[in-house]
Chain A
Amino acid sequence: MTMNGKAMHWLDERLGLSAIREVAAHKTVPVHSATRWYYFGGITLFLFGVQVVTGILLMFYYRPTTAEGFESVRFIMTRVEFGWLIRSIHSWSANLMIFVAFVHMFSVVFTHAYRPPRELTWASGIVLLGLLLGFGFSGYLLPWNQISYFATKVGADVAGSTPVIGGTIARILRGGEDVGAATLTRFFALHVMVLPILTAGLIVVHVLLVQKNGMSTPPWISAARVRQMKFFPNFFLREAMVWYGALAVLGALAAIFPWELGEKADPFASAPKGIRPEWYFLAQFYTLKLIPSHVWIIEGELLGILGFGLLAVCWALLPVWGVNRAGEARTRLVSGAGIFLIAYLAIFTYLGYVK
């Protein structure tokens, strides 16, 4: 036995690698007209990996205090070797990851992959999307610049409008009555510790569930009649090509459109004109702006929060109302709801951006 073979044998005895190899060798991916949508889950995972790596590199220099936060990010961008690239990739990758996660979610909706027995895969995916939005919200404040400071104030106020527990949520988020030093420390802890642990754990669960139930085939394609592609190496090599493509896009965005730093946050300054949150919260932001201050006896903002909460719960329960008693997808209803939601998000995000 060669040295390499001996080493593998030694590891196999302790880790059970042959069992993993066995699973991998038998894992297949259905080949049909919607196969291309399977790649988006992998791209989201790849971008999460990029976030972890670049995030750790940024942590070497970032200082989560109101006195040094902004300056440390500026130091990273101007003094640290390739710091500008790391920070720009981290910011662009965060945005692309949320965008790709949305694409992945809607691909699941339109291919009706939420059907039994994949209810938990869907639910874990929705929670993961929520966690990614949490990453976006908490990370946005960390450079401690003017726009992020005031956008976080608005965001915390909106969270504070949640019925019953709103005040407590806002206080916990801010670490006080207003956005300040305590908020920055909390957001940093959330961003680099709490959310990564939760997300990593849930990604493992999500991937294991995918592994357990296999790749879903759309209801209009007979799973028994569809050709299968081996995951290793056929699908994996294709996925690797896509990841390389994503890396090239990230590099190009970071080099041509470096993420700007803005001006340091000044709590005593008046809010900058046209203050608005990141694009993935724009639709909700614009909706809240449109709701009158009072609808009947209910406060407009409260009504909006209740509406979004209800919508999120309904969406998470898609495997319940999206299938009939026989366990088959209600394709027209779910696809209609999906199209409506995409139209709402696209139009209101656009309006939130231009108005």
Chain B
Amino acid sequence: MKTLLVVLAPVVLFAQAAKDTCVECHTVMDGAIQRPALLIKDDIHTANGLSCSDCHGGDRTSDDPTVAMSRAKGFVGKPKRTAIPQLCAKCHASPDYMRRFRPQQRVDQFELYKTSVHGKLLASGDENVATCIDCHSVHDIRAVKDAMAPVHPLRLPDTCGRCHGDAQKMAKYGIPTNQLEHYRTSVHWAALKNGDLSAPTCASCHGNHGAKPPQVESVAAVCGSCHVLFAQLYEKSVHQPIFSAASGGGGCIVCHSNHAIHQPSTAMLAGPQAVCSNCHEPGTPGAKTAQQMAQWLDGLDAALKHSEAVLASADKYGMEVSEAQVRLGDGRENLVKARLAMHAFQPEEMHKPIEAGMAVAGETLRAGQAALHDKDVRRIGLAISVFFIAITVVALLLVIRRLEANGSGYIEPSI
């Protein structure tokens, strides 16, 4: 009997530990109070062995509601909005605790949150602002990499936009509500929805837990965290001090905007949509330089496309032009370099890659034209060869006819 108890003890204890009366009771209730019990099965905390009582307190092992939800057992019920960050931080700010589940997990979210606009306003008593559960959801909290999580890169813009696109909610803060609408027209969103999960979302520029708008002096640094080389050139450019002093946001956004960052093109330099013309009047040296740079870029782009078309045509005829096609890649690289160099706003610096690119375009064009010429030569050669072969065949035919004119070379059957 004693042996049996020793064997069964862990089983009994495990059954006791697994018992969760919160879920058991709330699952059979109706309305809003049932919802958490249904959602929690998808929650990452549940998957890691935590339960309702780990946040709400109480005794989940008791079948008696008065005991299970007793203040004496630490039951806190529904936490106040202002208390939510601290509640989450109880575990998420503890390295020792978090290490048990995910050793590499950061534990500074609460500290960052306190520095954010959301955190500061909440601390000042504004319960309208976002707390942890507004972004991560509640009771069905999922890992960031889970595609169903509201903070997954593909869903994050909508999550932020839920509040920031709400004109009524944002009215008292006096901030625009078109960020999501603009972001959806941007190259960043285009890349993201095409499956590039590294493409920037709201949190990439504004931060996540420490979210706040980048200040004028930090815009270039924010953009430069990805567009490193562009930022380096811009920092040394003549525009840097001027743009930094611009009102309503400076740096990169002066030309590229902030949320509606569209695919850049030479139309930004010259023409009716040119952003340069916002400051540089037509006919001024600045406008002329911008026009010159646009012409260089368009010229290289057109030359490379022409070479590409000629090589594609040669390739279609089965000519071996792969070396030239690979070389064309160097030309495109120079085009990228020229577009990059443009951010120094020094035409002579930009002209170097333009020149190198044009040389590649010319070289590959000649290779393509030579291949097409070879194709013609081959066909002429073929026609000449076939002509001589045909003459030989006809000659053989005539020899055979003459040879067999009198039945020579045939042996008739003896029967």
Contact = CB atoms under 8 A, between A and B. Distances in A.
**What is the predominant secondary structure among interface residues of chain A facing chain B?**
helix
A255 B322 CA distance: 18
Given A74-B323, A78-B320, A237-B400, A244 B412 contact: no
A244 to B, nearest CB: 5
A238 B411 contact: no
Given A233-B403, A238-B400, A251-B385, A78 B323 contact: yes
B404 interface: yes
B414 interface: yes
A234 B403 contact: yes
A106 B256 CA distance: 72
A245 B393 contact: yes
How many interface residues does chain B have, given as a range?
Answer: 20 to 34
A349 B238 CA distance: 67
Interface stretch (B17-25, B123-131, B349-357, B375-383): B375-383
Nearest to B367: A78
Interface in B296-352: 318-320, 322-323
Contacts of A140: none
A43 to B, nearest CB: 14
A258 B413 contact: no
Contacts of A230: 409-411
Contact of A237 (B322, B390, B396): B396
Interface stretch (A116-124, A219-227, A304-312): A219-227
Given A244-B393, A255-B378, A255-B381, A234 B410 contact: yes
Interface string A20-59: 0000000010010000000000000000000000000000
A324 interface: no
A67 interface: no
A260 interface: yes
Contacts of B390: 248
B410 A227 contact: yes
Contacts of B147: none
B382 A256 contact: yes
B382 A257 contact: no
B319 A225 contact: no
Contact of B397 (A227, A229, A241, A252): A241
A75 to B, nearest CB: 10
A86 B322 CA distance: 19
A252 B386 CA distance: 8
Contacts of B392: 244
B414 A224 contact: yes
How many interface residues does chain A have, given as a range?
Answer: 20 to 34
A28 B411 contact: yes
A80 to B, nearest CB: 11
A257 B382 CA distance: 12
A240 interface: yes
A250 B382 CA distance: 10
Contacts of A154: none
B4 interface: no
B175 interface: no
A28 B409 CA distance: 9
B336 to A, nearest CB: 23
A302 interface: no
Interface in B118-140: none
B389 interface: yes
B399 interface: yes
A321 to B, nearest CB: 32
Given A241-B396, A256-B382, A258-B319, A234 B413 contact: no
B415 interface: yes
A225 B415 contact: yes
A248 B383 CA distance: 10
A252 B382 contact: yes
A261 B322 contact: yes
B412 A227 contact: yes
A69 to B, nearest CB: 15
Contacts of B386: 248, 251-252
Interface string A263-278: 1000000000000000
A28 B320 CA distance: 48
Nearest to A242: B393
B415 A224 contact: yes
A77 B396 contact: no
A74 B382 contact: no
A84 interface: yes
Contacts of A225: 413, 415
B399 A237 contact: yes
A85 B322 CA distance: 17
B229 to A, nearest CB: 28
Contact of A261 (B320, B399, B400, B403): B320
Contacts of A237: 396, 399-400, 403
B379 A255 contact: yes
Most buried by A among B318, B319, B323, B396: B318
Nearest to A88: B318
Contacts of A248: 385-386, 389-390
Interface in A200-239: 224-230, 233-234, 237-238
A245 B378 CA distance: 19
A260 B400 contact: no
Contacts of B413: 224-228
B317 to A, nearest CB: 8
Contacts of A195: none
Contacts of A226: 413
A98 B320 CA distance: 26
Nearest to A232: B409
A283 to B, nearest CB: 27
Most buried by B among A74, A244, A255: A255
A123 to B, nearest CB: 30
A288 interface: no
A241 B319 CA distance: 31
B80 to A, nearest CB: 53
Given A229-B410, A230-B409, A248-B390, 8 more contacts: A84-B378, A225-B415, A227-B410, A238-B400, A241-B396, A248-B386, A248-B389, A256-B382
Interface of B: 318-320, 322-323, 378-379, 381-382, 385-386, 389-390, 392-393, 396-397, 399-400, 403-404, 409-415
24 contacts: A28-B411, A74-B323, A77-B320, A78-B323, A84-B320, A225-B415, A226-B413, A227-B413, A229-B411, A230-B411, A233-B409, A234-B409, A241-B396, A245-B393, A248-B385, A251-B382, A251-B386, A256-B318, A256-B379, A256-B382, A258-B319, A259-B318, A261-B322, A263-B322
The 5 closest A-B pairs by CB, nearest first: A234-B409, A255-B382, A258-B318, A228-B411, A77-B320
